[in-house]
Amino acid sequence: MRVDETIYQFISRGIPALRFVIILACAASVHAQENSDDTARVDVKSAFQFSQTAFSNWAAGGQSSLAVNGDLQLHAHQRRGNFGSEVVAHWLVGFFKTEDVPVRKINDHLNIASVSGYHVTPSTSVGVMADLTTQVAPSYIFDQGSVLALGGDPEEGIKTGNLLSPGHLELGVGVRYVKAKPFIGIVAMPVMVKQTYILDEDVRRLDKNLPSGLYGNDGKTVRSELGGTLKLTFRVPLVENVTADGQAKLFANYADQDVDSSALLNLTGKINEHLSASVHTTLLYDNDVDTDPGKPGRQQRVQIREVLGVNLVYAFSL
């Protein structure tokens, strides 16, 4: 059953992955505490949104529904002399349930970014960067028109994604500049290798069989590109108890003139220590991705995701 598979994959893959990142971060923190010249810090933050609509004998009609969204973040950094390292893990996950329809995934985005370098000045460093973006559990499209056009069953849907299917791994060298207050970070990587993975056989077969492809791998497990990356991250206060944070990233493939871009913007209003209201907006553009595989030809459009809600927040530091 699709629901059981999706929930099982979340538990069996997502939790151990985050646990592994936390263990590494804690190990770095303990190592730093044993060396007086080292400084290290680990920040963990989790937020959960709940939304429920219930109807009983409601003459105007409607469907009862339940939605749950989670936002899990880990930020670890260590400084030893002029050398510094930083790891940021961010997982957005969500489920949705309506009457007579199985539980479906509405959000699943895992990003792990790491930077290590030598500080030539207190705010500027040169070094290497690694960035991994993927989803954790299988994802399906259920739009009847698209599923039928692809020869699938609307009840079962068609699998379009899974762990590292696609997955994007970026490795590069360059320069990083960081300003503390307000926080602004700029990373310029003139040499960057970007690899797109499709490890799931079903997703790889769909990518091969579609005339215009799905993720641009032409049915291959790995596709490599050489280019340059520019990344901006920020966190600034707007008014009292309201902050804006996010990032924007551009990747230019030296072999063509197209630029892959992504942007994330979060607006958060603090209500009290454990409650906040937030708006999360994500924009993606990649000319290799078909945004509507049910239509003929590759549909190259900006992908948009927005989540609005009230959060239950828990955070701690090590």
The pLDDT of residue 50 is above 60: yes
CA separation for the pair 93, 268 (Å, rounded)? 18
Distance of CA 291 to the CA centre of its chain: 17
Mean pLDDT of the chain: 87
Domain covering 2-55+64-317 in this structure, CATH number: 2.40.230
Tell me what pLDDT residue 1 has: 42
Provide the whole-model pTM: 0.86
CA separation for the pair 197, 19 (Å, rounded)? 23
CA separation for the pair 9, 96 (Å, rounded)? 16
CA separation for the pair 36, 265 (Å, rounded)? 37
The pLDDT of residue 285 is above 90: yes
CA distances from 233 to 140, 249, 273 (A): 31, 9, 25
Residue 249 pLDDT level (bands cut at 50, 70, 90): very high
Tell me what pLDDT residue 316 has: 79
What's the mean pLDDT in 61-74? 89
CA separation for the pair 75, 135 (Å, rounded)? 19
CA separation for the pair 206, 165 (Å, rounded)? 11
Residue extents of the structural domains in the chain: 2-55+64-317
The pLDDT of residue 213 is above 60: yes
What's the mean pLDDT in 82-93? 93
What's the mean pLDDT in 43-59? 88
pLDDT tens-digit series, residues 226-245: 999 999 999 999 999 999 99
The pLDDT of residue 33 is above 70: no
All residues at 6 or more sequence positions from 9 whose CB lies less than 8 Å from its CB, including other chains: 136, 137, 138, 162, 163
